[in-house]
Amino acid sequence: MKASPPLILRYLDRQPYEPVWKKMQAFTNERTADAADELWVLEHDSVFTQGQAGKDIHLLDPGSIPVVKVDRGGQVTWHGPGQLVIYLLLNVKRLEYGVRDLVNLIEESLIDYLDSLGISAQARADAPGVYVGEAKIAALGLKIRRGCSFHGLSFNIDCELDAFKRINPCGYAGMPVTRLIDLQPDIRFDQARDGLLSIILRRLGHQQVNTTNSWQELA
């Protein structure tokens, strides 16, 4: 594996979806071979996102929640307050990762974090994401362009779940959805965020991480 520059961990609070998506695209299109990898950590305003092969049949009753058609894999999911989103903007060619390697890293990091709380979770071969029993607690969708990844994972921590009733989550009719606070009532959002991030960072193996709360470098 080639040496990587320090990873940038960018905490972005709550953001509308489309501007962040456009920044991800621009970042990926413009980054050089030596550019640092980044993780963007945030929550979104309420939105449904539909993958590039998404079918409208899975949008049951979006109502006033906007629907954005995007360039990731997968069908339709919801993002909103109380749901942790981590976008992984990685030079997967430099890391020598295939798509399956990155999917495994995300799923196994979530499973390891939940296990640290005494919660048994698993991935499914037929439906990417992480599940507690039959209920989905985290979704993932990725795009690889120019040897680099963008998009990432969403993890239901203390979000409302009603919006998931308006769709077939990830294209599966009737799929139950759960959230961490129902399994660990005393958990705080920042605890879950930091616990999961520490596992992802360890698995990625970057020797140095620089943290910022700014968009400035991406303007």
Q: Where in the chain are the domains?
A: 7-218
| CB half-sphere exposure, 177, CA atoms < 13 A | 28
Q: Are 105 and 200 in contact (CB under 8 A)?
A: yes
- Assign 3-state DSSP to the chain and report helix, strand, coil percentages, each to 5: 30, 30, 35
Right CATH for 7-218 from 1.10.287.610, 1.10.1280.10, 3.30.930.10, 3.40.50.10490: 3.30.930.10
The answer to the question of whether 79 is labelled as a binding residue is yes
Q: What is the pLDDT of residue 182?
A: 97
Q: How far is CA 180 from CA 138, 165, 208, in A?
A: 10, 18, 29
- pLDDT for the residue 111: 98
Burial class (CB in 10 A: 0-12, 13-18, 19+), 205: exposed
Q: Is 139 annotated as a binding residue?
A: yes
Q: According to the model, what pLDDT value does residue 46 have?
A: 97
pLDDT of residue 216: 67
Tell whether residue 188 is among the known ligand binding residues. Answer: no
Contact, 11 vs 19, CB < 8 A? no
Q: How much is the pTM?
A: 0.95
User: Which of the 8 DSSP states describes residue 127?
Assistant: S
Is 159 marked active-site?
A: no
**Active-site position among 110, 170, 192, 197:** 170
Confidence (pLDDT) at 3: 62
Full pLDDT tens readout for the chain, 219 residues: 456 789 999 999 999 999 999 999 999 999 999 999 999 999 999 999 998 888 889 898 999 999 999 988 888 999 999 999 999 999 999 999 999 999 999 999 999 999 999 999 999 988 889 999 999 999 999 999 999 999 999 999 999 999 999 988 888 888 999 999 999 999 999 999 999 999 999 999 887 889 999 876 665
154 belongs to an annotated ligand binding site: yes
Question: Count of residues for the chain?
Answer: 219
Q: For residue 77, say whether it is annotated as part of any ligand binding site.
A: yes
